[in-house]
Amino acid sequence: MKYTDSQRIEKIRSLTGKLLSYLQSEQITAEIVLEKEPVRWAITTPLYNIGEHVYCLSNAFKEAHSEIPWHKISGLRHRLVHDYENTNWSIICSILLRFCRISIRN
């Protein structure tokens, strides 16, 4: 299915909200992420999906919102998918603090 930019942004918002809710409700800390592989898997899935939606946003939309690091967000997805074994989870923990708080307006 081909999504519009507005639909993709809504999916990104929804996924981000669910990820934040999970992190908060389960009281996930950086230490837990570093220690528990199931938690890393739970975090990775929404990040894959967010990154894929970001990658598919139109160039016009990304240019209109150039303050958002679109390339880094979609690049994170590619890195997780293609080089998961070498993921630096300390970096992922720091990204979650910034990434999940990005506010996007249509």
59 assigned to some structural domain? yes
Fill in the amino acid letter for 70.
W
Residues 19, 43: contact at Cβ < 8 Å?
Answer: yes
69 assigned to some structural domain? yes
pTM for this one? 0.85
Tell me the CB-side half-sphere exposure of residue 23, using CA atoms within 13 A: 20
For the chain, what is the domain count? 1
104 assigned to some structural domain? no
pLDDT values of the chain reduced to their tens digit, one per residue, 106 residues: 699 999 999 999 999 999 988 988 888 888 899 899 999 999 999 999 999 999 999 999 999 999 999 999 999 999 999 988 899 998 888 887 765 554 444 4
Per the structure, the complete domain to which residue 58 belongs is given by: 5-99
Cα–Cα distance list, 80 to 8, 25, 26 (Å): 20, 24, 23
Residues 90, 30: contact at Cβ < 8 Å?
Answer: yes
106 assigned to some structural domain? no
